[in-house]
A and B are shown apart, each in its own frame.
Chain A
Amino acid sequence: DGGITQSPKYLFRKEGQNVTLSCEQNLNHDAMYWYRQDPGQGLRLIYYSQIVNDFQKGDIAEGYSVSREKKESFPLTVTSAQKNPTAFYLCASSNSYGYTFGSGTRLTVV
């Protein structure tokens, strides 16, 4: 079955640590996205990539980094520069028929 796999489902980060969230898709979609979701805020775009080896900043890119070395993979690194990283992170990919979302990673700073 085609879809998007995010891992881990839950992640705990200590202050000052970098952590990487994994996102893999087997839908053969060119475009991939990372969104952050906070209560009452909706979905805010962090980064997106429309083609391998290219990506663009979204609305809240500060403190995050991404890479797109393979079509199937779009990992997100939450760096220590992100001051308030506790949130639900959603990865998505799209074609002309719409977006498909992964099941999300809940990141908590401890």
Chain B
Amino acid sequence: QQPVQSPQAVILREGEDAVINCSSSKALYSVHWYRQKHGEAPVFLMILLKGGEQKGHEKISASFNEKKQQSSLYLTASQLSYSGTYFCGATADRGSTLGRLYFGRGTQLTVWP
């Protein structure tokens, strides 16, 4: 039930854009996105519910395609502070954003000046 993230790693120059995908073979109810800096705790970015909802956080936004069982995280005009490992987490329980999350293996994003 672990979601699959792609790509595994991304290297960008400051100002470039990136897309990170998170897909599942099981029906999803909600998708969470987190960013983790090395040696630190993951930090919550956003949560998306099924229905194709799109959300934004600074220049980071995400979408949830229920038909494809996929969520995508969009990083626009990347900044050095965006470097880190991005995890998606998914819940399969209908009617709930609570309960255990199934996390992907993470996408390591590196932004160079």
Report which A residues bind B (CB closer than 8 A). Answer: 31, 33, 35, 40-45, 48, 50, 58, 90, 94-104
Question: Dominant SS at the B interface?
Answer: loop
Measuring CB to CB, which residues of chain B are less than 8 angstroms from any residue of chain A?
A: 2, 32, 34, 39-44, 47, 87, 89, 96-101, 103-106
Min CB distance, B110 to chain A, in Å?
A: 16
Tell me how far the C-beta of A86 lies from the nearest C-beta in chain B, rounded to whole angstroms.
15
The contact of B101 among A95, A99, A104, by CB within 8 Å, is A99
**Chain A neighbourhood of B41, CB < 8 A:** 90, 101-104
Rounded to whole angstroms, the CA-CA distance of A50 and B99 in the bound complex is 7
Q: Complex: how many Å from CA A94 to CA B56?
A: 21
Contact B106 A42 (CB under 8 A): yes
**Do most interface residues of chain A lie in helix, strand or loop, or is the interface mixed?**
strand
**Is the pair A94, B105 in contact by a Cβ cutoff of 8 Å?**
no
Cβ B44 vs Cβ A98 within 8 A: yes
B74 to chain A, nearest CB (A): 19
With contacts A50-B98, A50-B99, A101-B43 known, what are 7 further pairs, Cβ within 8 A?
Answer: A35-B103, A42-B105, A48-B100, A98-B32, A99-B32, A104-B39, A104-B40
B residues in contact with A50, CB < 8 Å? 98-99
A99 x B105 contact (CB < 8 A): no
Most A C-beta atoms less than 10 A away, residue of B42, B43, B104:
B42
Closest A-B pairs by Cβ, 9 of them:
A42-B105, A101-B41, A43-B103, A98-B44, A103-B41, A96-B97, A101-B42, A42-B103, A98-B47
- A27 and B39 CA atoms in complex are apart in Å by 23
**CB of A31, distance to nearest CB on chain B (Å):** 6
